[in-house]
Structure 1
Amino acid sequence: MKKFLILFLLTGMVATAQRNLTIQEATYGQYQAFAPKSLVAQQWRPESNTITYLSSNYAALMSRSKESNWTESTLVTKDELLTKLQERFSDESFMMSIFPYTYQWSDKNTISFTVPGKSGNYLILFNVESKAISNTIKIDSTGEQEKLSPDNKYAASLNGNNIVITDAAGKNITVTNDADAGIVNGSDYTHRQEFGIDRGMWWSPNSDKLLFYRKDETMVGNYPLTDFSARTASENDIKYPMAGLKSEEVTLVVYDVKSGNKTTLKTEGPKEQFLTTVTWSPDGKYVFVGVLNREQNDLKLNKYDAATGNFIKTLFEETAPTYVEPLHPLTFVPGENDEFLYRTEKDGYEQLYLYNTDGKLLEKLGYKDIVVTEFLGFDSKAKNAFYMGTANNGLDRQLYKVSLKSGKTTQLTTESGTHNVIINSDATLGLDSFSNITTPNDVSIINLKNGKVEKELIIAEDPYKGTVELPKMELVTITAADGKTPLNGRIIYPANFDATKKYPVMIYVYGGPHAQLVTNSWLGGASLFDYYMAQHGYVVFTLDNRGSDARGRDFEHVIHRQLGQNEMADQMKGVDFLKSKTFVDQDKIGVYGWSFGGFMTTSLMTTHPETFKVGVAGGPVIDWKFYEIMYGERYMDMPQENPDGYAKASLIDKAKNLQGRLLMIHGAQDNVVVQQHSMEFIQACIEAGKQVDYFLYPTHEHNVRGKDRFHLNQKIADYFDTYLKKE
Structure 2
Amino acid sequence: MKKYVWSLLLVGSFAFAQKFTIDETVMGPRKYAPTTLIAHQWKKDSKAITYISSDYSNLIEKNASNAWKESVLLTKSELETALKSKFPTDEFSLRTFPTTISWITNTIFETEISGKTSNYKISFDVALKQITNVISYPAEGSQAKYTKNNQVAWLKDNNIRISLAQGKVIEVTNDENKAIVNGSDYVHRQEFGIHSGMWWNETGSKLAYYRKDETMVGDYPIINWNEREAINKNGKYPMAGMTSEHVTLVIYDIASGKKVTLQTGESKEQYLTMVTWDPSGKFIYVGVLNREQNHLKLNKYDAQTGAFVKTLFEEKATTWVEPQHALMFVPNNPTQFIYQTDFYGYNQMYLYTTEGKLLKNLGFKDVVVTNVLGFEATNTKLNYIGTANNGLDRQLYQVDLKSGKSIQLTSVSGIHNSSVSSDGTMVLDQYSNATTPNEISILNIKNKMVNTTLVKAENPFVGKIDLPKIELVTLTSADGKTPLNGRIIYPSNFDATKKYPVMVYLYGGSHAQLVTNRWLSGAGYFDLYMAQQGYIVFTMDNRGSDARGKKFCEVNHRQLGVNEMADQMEGIKFLKSKTFVDTDKIGVFGWSFGGFMSTTLMTSQADTFKVGVAGGPVIDWKYYEIMYGERYMDTPQENPEGYAKASLIDKAKNLKGRLLVIHGAQDPVVVQQNSMNFIEACIKAGKQVDYFLYPNHEHNVSGKDRIHMYAKIADYFDTHLKK
Question: TM-score of the superposition, structure 2-length normalised?
Answer: 0.97
Measure the CA separation in 2 of the matches of 1:480 and 1:710. 35
Matched with 1:18 is 17
Determine if contact 2:421/2:427 at 8 Å carries over to the other structure. Answer: yes
What is the aligned counterpart of 2:676 among 669, 674, 679?
679
Output the amino acid matched with 1:50.
A
Q: CA deviation at 1:171?
A: 2.2
| Structure 1 residues 17-43: Cα deviation after superposition (integer angstroms, max 9, x where no partner) | 10001112121312x111111111122
Matched with 2:650 is 653
Q: CA deviation at 1:569?
A: 0.1
Measure the CA separation in 2 of the matches of 1:475 and 1:399. 23
Output the amino acid matched with 1:488.
N
Structure 2 SS opposite 1:63: strand
1:562 aligns with 2:559: yes
Greater alpha carbon shift after TM alignment, 98-107 vs 343-352: 98-107
Q: CA deviation at 1:447?
A: 2.1
Q: CA deviation at 1:142?
A: 1.0
Matched with 2:136 is 138
Output the amino acid matched with 1:94.
F
Determine if contact 1:123/1:139 at 8 Å carries over to the other structure. Answer: no
Determine if contact 1:514/1:548 at 8 Å carries over to the other structure. Answer: yes
Matched with 2:366 is 369
| Structure 1 residues 569-616: Cα deviation after superposition (integer angstroms, max 9, x where no partner) | 000000000000000000000000000000000000000000000000
Q: CA deviation at 1:203?
A: 1.4
- State the identity as a percent: 62
| Structure 1 residues 692-711: Cα deviation after superposition (integer angstroms, max 9, x where no partner) | 00000110000011111111
Measure the CA separation in 2 of the matches of 1:583 and 1:709. 31
Determine if contact 1:379/1:426 at 8 Å carries over to the other structure. Answer: yes
Determine if contact 1:376/1:422 at 8 Å carries over to the other structure. Answer: yes
What is the aligned counterpart of 2:421 among 404, 421, 424?
424
| Structure 1 residues 410-467: Cα deviation after superposition (integer angstroms, max 9, x where no partner) | 1121111111112222332221111110000110111233422211100000011110
Q: 1:643 to 1:14 in 2, by over 3 A?
A: closer
Measure the CA separation in 1 of the matches of 2:509 and 2:312. 32
Output the amino acid matched with 2:19.
N
Measure the CA separation in 2 of the matches of 1:88 and 1:670. 43
Q: CA deviation at 1:90?
A: 2.2
What is the aligned counterpart of 2:692 among 691, 695, 702?
695
Unaligned runs of 5+ in 1: 1-12
Measure the CA separation in 2 of the matches of 1:46 and 1:381. 14
Structure 1 SS opposite 2:574: helix
Greater alpha carbon shift after TM alignment, 13-22 vs 79-88: 13-22
Matched with 1:492 is 489
Number of matched pairs:
712
What is the aligned counterpart of 1:612 among 602, 609, 613?
609
Measure the CA separation in 2 of the matches of 1:393 and 1:219. 44
| Structure 1 residues 627-685: Cα deviation after superposition (integer angstroms, max 9, x where no partner) | 00110000000110000000000000000000000000000110000000000000000
Q: 1:691 to 1:169 in 2, by over 3 A?
A: same
Matched with 1:240 is 237
Structure 1 SS opposite 2:451: strand
Measure the CA separation in 1 of the matches of 2:188 and 2:102. 28
Determine if contact 2:109/2:125 at 8 Å carries over to the other structure. Answer: yes
Determine if contact 2:350/2:362 at 8 Å carries over to the other structure. Answer: yes
Matched with 2:550 is 553
Q: CA deviation at 1:125?
A: 1.9
Output the amino acid matched with 1:107.
T
Q: CA deviation at 1:68?
A: 2.2
Equivalent residue runs for 1:239-388 within 5 Å: 239-388=236-385
Q: CA deviation at 1:14?
A: 12
1:463 aligns with 2:455: no
Determine if contact 2:13/2:466 at 8 Å carries over to the other structure. Answer: no
Matched with 1:664 is 661
Matched with 2:394 is 397
Equivalent residue runs for 1:112-123 within 5 Å: 112-123=110-121
1:164 aligns with 2:136: no
Structure 1 SS opposite 2:707: helix
Structure 2 SS opposite 1:435: strand
Measure the CA separation in 2 of the matches of 1:545 and 1:72. 45
Q: 1:269 to 1:426 in 2, by over 3 A?
A: farther
Output the amino acid matched with 1:322.
T
Matched with 1:5 is none
Structure 1 SS opposite 2:613: strand
Q: 1:88 to 1:16 in 2, by over 3 A?
A: farther
Structure 2 SS opposite 1:695: strand
Q: 1:212 to 1:106 in 2, by over 3 A?
A: farther
Determine if contact 2:181/2:212 at 8 Å carries over to the other structure. Answer: yes
Measure the CA separation in 1 of the matches of 2:14 and 2:692. 42
Indicate the structure whose relative CO is greater, using CA pairs within 8 Å and at least 6 residues apart. 2
Greater alpha carbon shift after TM alignment, 273-282 vs 129-138: 129-138
Output the amino acid matched with 2:49.
I
Structure 1 SS opposite 2:23: helix
Measure the CA separation in 1 of the matches of 2:228 and 2:178. 26
Q: 1:554 to 1:15 in 2, by over 3 A?
A: closer
Output the amino acid matched with 2:162.
I
1:107 aligns with 2:105: yes
What is the aligned counterpart of 1:129 among 123, 127, 143?
127
1:50 aligns with 2:48: yes
What is the aligned counterpart of 1:623 among 595, 611, 620?
620
Structure 2 SS opposite 1:104: strand
What is the aligned counterpart of 1:83 among 65, 81, 84?
81
Output the amino acid matched with 2:56.
Y
Greater alpha carbon shift after TM alignment, 514-523 vs 265-274: 265-274
Q: CA deviation at 1:15?
A: 7.5
Matched with 1:448 is 445
Measure the CA separation in 2 of the matches of 1:664 and 1:60. 47
Output the amino acid matched with 1:129.
A
Displaced runs of 4+ in structure 1, greater than 3 A? 13-16
Matched with 1:29 is 28
1:95 aligns with 2:93: yes
Q: 1:545 to 1:440 in 2, by over 3 A?
A: same
Measure the CA separation in 1 of the matches of 2:48 and 2:303. 38
Matched with 1:7 is none
Measure the CA separation in 2 of the matches of 1:513 and 1:45. 36
Greater alpha carbon shift after TM alignment, 389-398 vs 142-151: 142-151
Measure the CA separation in 2 of the matches of 1:368 and 1:15. 45
Structure 2 SS opposite 1:531: helix
Unaligned runs of 5+ in 2: 1-11
Measure the CA separation in 1 of the matches of 2:132 and 2:387. 42
Matched with 1:634 is 631
Determine if contact 1:150/1:203 at 8 Å carries over to the other structure. Answer: no
Measure the CA separation in 2 of the matches of 1:637 and 1:517. 26
| Structure 1 residues 529-572: Cα deviation after superposition (integer angstroms, max 9, x where no partner) | 10000000000000000000011111011111000000000000
Structure 2 SS opposite 1:23: coil
Structure 2 SS opposite 1:420: strand
Question: TM-score of the superposition, structure 1-length normalised?
Answer: 0.96
Measure the CA separation in 2 of the matches of 1:532 and 1:47. 46
Measure the CA separation in 2 of the matches of 1:127 and 1:628. 47
Determine if contact 1:377/1:423 at 8 Å carries over to the other structure. Answer: no
Measure the CA separation in 1 of the matches of 2:49 and 2:350. 30
Structure 1 SS opposite 2:31: coil
Measure the CA separation in 2 of the matches of 1:258 and 1:92. 36
Measure the CA separation in 1 of the matches of 2:55 and 2:533. 34
Measure the CA separation in 2 of the matches of 1:646 and 1:388. 37
Q: CA deviation at 1:128?
A: 1.7
Matched with 1:40 is 38
C-alpha RMSD over aligned residues: 1.4
